[in-house]
Structure 1
Amino acid sequence: MRSDHRTLALTVVVGGFLLGFVDFVWIKSVPYPFAELGNSTATWAVAAFAFGYWVRSGRVRPALGAAVLLVVAVPSYYLAATLVQGDDLSVVWAPTSLVWMVFGVLAGVVFGTGGTWAREKGWRQVVGIALPAAVFFEEAARFARRANDPNYPSGSGWNVAIDVALGVLVVVLIGRTSRQRALALAVALPLAMTIFIGFAVAGGY
């Protein structure tokens, strides 16, 4: 059991560091529109989901571990920005970073738990499978809203298509039957709307 705890802790710390660091490098090195997958709240939420799915069961470990993973990823992201493009390291403890860490705790608990639910049965399994699709669909809705905004790069339609495709793909891969997949996609839509409203209330972070 002690070895399992050590493996879990190591996975959380290393995984969080890699998520933040690789995320920034991805944004800098991959061309648009795929670069937006690095600058994506959905990508981080799905990383927390994947962690919970890997843990498989339990309540505390997947939720706490996924939360820590996302919190570690935030300073790692800004450390990469310092090393790659010379940003000021003080941004690591700036108020914006702390806000993202708080969001990381919330997203980690929700999506880490969702990852374990996807392995259960009944309504929890459906909701668990729906969660990663919902966060991709919500992000697609935000890209669609920006389509005519001159402050954002043109070609947002590609981002909408990529996010919708990834949302459907993750349901196809995780769902075990056609019925599960259909139910999960149906549940993902109201969940996406809930997340969309949450972002609007939070001021668009």
Structure 2
Amino acid sequence: MRPAPDHRRVALVAVLGGFLLGFLDFVWIKYVPYPFANLGNSSAVWAVAAFAFGFWVRSGPVRAAVGAAVGLVVAVPSYYVAAALIQGDDWAVLWATTSLIWMAFGVLAGVIFGVGGVWARGSGWWRVIGTALPAAVLFAEALVQARRINHPSYGIEPLWNALINAVLGVLVVALVGRTARQRLVALATAVPLALVGFVAFRLASFG
């Protein structure tokens, strides 16, 4: 088993990874065709990025939490930098209240899912919960999208977004889980966690 990365490498990946996440997220939205372009507008995808960071860190939940939070916070202004450079958006958005709110959500998601990535490499129920977390947030966002199907403002389009998120949730568990039993248990655990996540999305006015 490879040793966990040192603090300097963790810090470098957090900052550089966060910048790339935000910048490339905007590029994805602008140039990738529908319905996959909508993944760029996905809060769940950013949460999964924080999970991936924690999974890469492998040990030290505090390091994973801080690094993932830093990455998501950096990603927010990076996204708006891309918007300003590519399509001439107002630079003032970088320090607007909405940006600060997104950064605050980034800290919260970074802590939860960064630690979840470390748990996914652990043992027992910690591993199950950690493995289930990225699927749960993708499933929760799929539920938010499913609620919009046939709404006058959306029509049938949210169906494709919900299906993509659901499939991605299953794929993440398939990749992270080590055995068929672990994957099945993690998927089963992801369902009630997704309901909690759905309520959280609603309270945060994301759906």
TM-score (norm 1): 0.96
- Deviation by residue 1:14-37 (Cα, 9 ceiling, x = unmatched): 100000000000000001100011
- Asked if 1:197 corresponds to 2:199, the answer is yes
Whole-Å separation in 2 of the counterparts to 1:87 and 1:152: 25
1:5 aligned partner: 7
Q: How do 1:39-188 residues align onto structure 2 when only pairs under 5 Å count? A: 39-152=41-154, 154-188=156-190
Q: Give the secondary structure class of the aligned counterpart of 1:38.
A: helix
- Deviation by residue 1:145-170 (Cα, 9 ceiling, x = unmatched): 11112223642211111111110011
Q: Following TM superposition, where does structure 1 have runs of at least 4 consecutive aligned residues deviating by more than 4 angstroms?
A: none
Whole-Å separation in 1 of the counterparts to 2:78 and 2:96: 14
- Quickly say closer, same or farther: Cα 1:16–1:192, change in 2 above 3 A: same
Whole-Å separation in 1 of the counterparts to 2:112 and 2:103: 14
Which 5+ residue runs of structure 2 have no aligned equivalent? none
Whole-Å separation in 2 of the counterparts to 1:24 and 1:152: 22
| Residues 61 and 114, structure 2, Cα contact 8 Å, conserved in 1 | no
Whole-Å separation in 2 of the counterparts to 1:141 and 1:112: 23
Number of aligned residue pairs = 203
> Percent identity over the alignment?
66
Task: Indicate which of 16, 19, 22 corresponds to 2:21.
Answer: 19
RMSD over aligned Cα atoms? 1.2
Query: Following TM superposition, by how much is the alpha carbon of 1:50 offset from its aligned partner in structure 2, in angstroms?
Result: 0.3
Query: Following TM superposition, by how much is the alpha carbon of 1:199 offset from its aligned partner in structure 2, in angstroms?
Result: 1.4
Which 5+ residue runs of structure 1 have no aligned equivalent? none
Larger deviation, residues 145-154 vs 171-180: 145-154
- Deviation by residue 1:51-78 (Cα, 9 ceiling, x = unmatched): 0000001121000000000000000001
